[in-house]
Amino acid sequence: MSEGARRGIRSAQTGLVVNAVLALTKLVAGLLGNSYALVADAVESTTDIFSSLLVWSGLRIASRAADEDYPFGYGKAEPLAAAVVSLLLLGAAVGIAVKAVQEIVTPHHAPAPFTLGVLSAVIVIKEVLYRRVFTVGTAVGSTAVKADAWHHRSDAITSAAVFVGITIALWGGSGWESADDWAALAASAIIVYNGLRMLRPAVHDLMDRTPAEDLVRRVATAAASSDGVRAVEKLRVRRAGLGFYVDIHVQAEPAMSLRDAHILSGRVKGAIRSAVPAVSGVLVHMEPYERART
């Protein structure tokens, strides 16, 4: 298992423990404090637990070595986990929105003041966790870990929205009890936005979309700079988990022997992997160089 996968798994494990504690805390506080928005927030934290489990499992599977059944490796498990995490988030948002509407049309008591203290602590903890997990996801290049980080950020945002709603309900007094539920409804909209935001890059990776232009340029430059390469004709790069696969056509002198062409293709592979260590595999197609006709 690569160091990047280990770091991603550790961040998922940390998130799992923190989310479990926070979900239970918010659920108890919401039930005792008469705040459905806080209960809804607890539900969102519960989906975070499952998301951390999915990211953990996805990274473990993606780190497996290629075999006869999966000759290109198990890298797709990582963006697949990110996509499932995003869909879970969208599902939770719909459930929260439906329940919030039901609570809005049903008269009930105002939330208890102590729920604001619980929310304040949650907001700080989740924002700190978001920053740490997102830093890990960026460092290791994991879509799933960054999706998990956005789960933490969405939890912090929804908790902030609930904080505002409860504050309004308490400040406004009689007639403002539903402010708490409107906050839950607003929080569900934020969750939908973040869910779609996370789903998009996961789908891109699953459909082998070309990665960032800078990475492709570095691959092309490394190949073209190899001694004996006259031109780079075609270049395709796709992401697979935490790594990338390169399919490249390079041109060399037509009179070059098959043995020398084989050696040159090895130099091209080495140059690409040195320039971009995240590249897991390179397939080099050798072609005769044809000078441009005038």
Backbone angles phi, psi at 259, to 5 degrees: -65, -45
Q: What is the CA radius of gyration of the chain?
A: 25
What are the residues whose beta carbons fall under 8 Å from the beta carbon of 143, sequence distance 6 or more? 78, 79, 82, 137, 201, 202, 205
The topology (CATH level 3) of 3-206 is Alpha-lytic protease prodomain-like (1.20.1510)
- Please say whether the beta carbons of 20 and 52 come within 8 A: no
Q: Within 13 Å of residue 184, how many CA atoms lie on the same side as its CB?
A: 30
Q: How far apart are CA 44 and CA 127, in angstroms?
A: 15
- Residue spans per domain, the chain: 3-206, 213-288
pLDDT of residue 179: 76
- Residues 213-288: name the CATH superfamily: Cation efflux protein, cytoplasmic domain (3.30.70.1350)
* pLDDT confidence of residue 294: 41
The number of residues in the chain equals 294
Output the pLDDT for position 166: 78
pLDDT (0 to 100) of residue 109:
64
| Run means of pLDDT, 10 residues per run, the chain, 294 residues | 69 79 84 74 72 76 80 81 82 80 72 82 88 84 76 78 80 72 79 82 84 89 91 89 87 91 93 89 90 53
CA 92 – CA 95 distance, rounded (Å): 5
Classify burial at 150, counting beta carbons within 10 Å of its beta carbon; exposed 0-12, middle 13-18, buried 19 or more.
buried
* Residue 235 φ/ψ, nearest 5 degrees: -150, 125
On the 0-12 / 13-18 / 19+ scale of CB atoms within 10 A, 284 is: buried
Q: Can you give the pLDDT at residue 293?
A: 46
Q: Do 82 and 144 touch, CB atoms closer than 8 A?
A: yes
